[in-house]
Amino acid sequence: MKKIQISPSILSADFSQLGKEIKRLKDGGADMIHVDVMDGHFVPNLTIGPPVIKALKKQSSMIFDVHLMISPVHKYIEAYSDAGADIITIHPEATNNLKSSILKIKELNKKVGVSLNPETKVDVILEHLDKIDLVLIMSVNPGFGGQKFMPEVLGKIKELKKIQENQKLNFDIEIDGGINFDNSKIAIEAGANILVSGTTIFKSNNGDIKRNIELLKSK
C-alpha cells in the first residue's frame, strides 16, 4: 500500500503571508503544496498565476502540486512548468486533445495529473492511465474552498484502485474537496493515497498544522 500523503491547499492560507505559510506547512509535516489555479472561466473563481508560483518556489524546495482549472489549458502548461510546478494536473474538459496535453507535460519532465470532476466518468481517462502519474478525484464541484464533501465520488476511487491492481499501474489517487477528520478515513479506505485539504489544516485545532496533518493521515 502506498504511503498516505497530505497536500495542503494554499487557497486557505493567509495570502498576505504565503511564504511564511508554506514554511509552516513544511515544518508541520506536509508532503507537498497544493496550488489551485482558477481562471474565472473554466470555474467561477480567480486565484493565482505563474508569477506567484515562481516567487513561492524560490522560497521553498517542497513539491508544488499545481491543479490547473483553466481553459483552454494546453497553451498555459509551459508557463506553469517554467514557474516551478512539479505536478501539473489538468481537466479533460479543458483541452481539445488530452493525449497531446499529457505528452506536453511529460516532455517538460513534470508529473502528469488528470482531474475528474464529480460528474466526470473514469472512462474518459482509461486509455491514458499508463501515461498518468496522478488522478485527482474532485469531491466537490471545483471553484471555491470550504464546500461539503460528496461521498458519491468514492465509487470512482474504488474503480480506479481495481484498474490499478488489475493492470499493475502505479499512479497516485488524490482526492480534493471538503476533506476533514470525519471523511479522511473513508477516502483512504476507498483507495486514495494523497489527501488535499485546506480549511481543516489551517483552521482546526487553533491552526495547529502538525496535529491536523497527523489526524488526517491516521486511519
Catalytic residues: 36, 176
Crossing angle for the helix pair 209-217 and 18-27, to the nearest 10 degrees: 50
Residues whose CB falls within 8 Å of the CB of residue 112, separated by 6 or more in sequence, listed in order: 87, 88, 89, 102, 105, 106, 131, 132, 133, 134
Crossing angle for the helix pair 50-59 and 18-27, to the nearest 10 degrees: 50
What is the DSSP code (8-state) at residue 109? T
Instruction: Give the integer Cα–Cα distance in Å for 24 and 41.
Output: 32
φ/ψ of residue 96, rounded to 5: -75, -20
Cell numbers standing for residue 217: 493521515
User: Kind of pairing, strands 172-176 and 5-8?
Assistant: unpaired
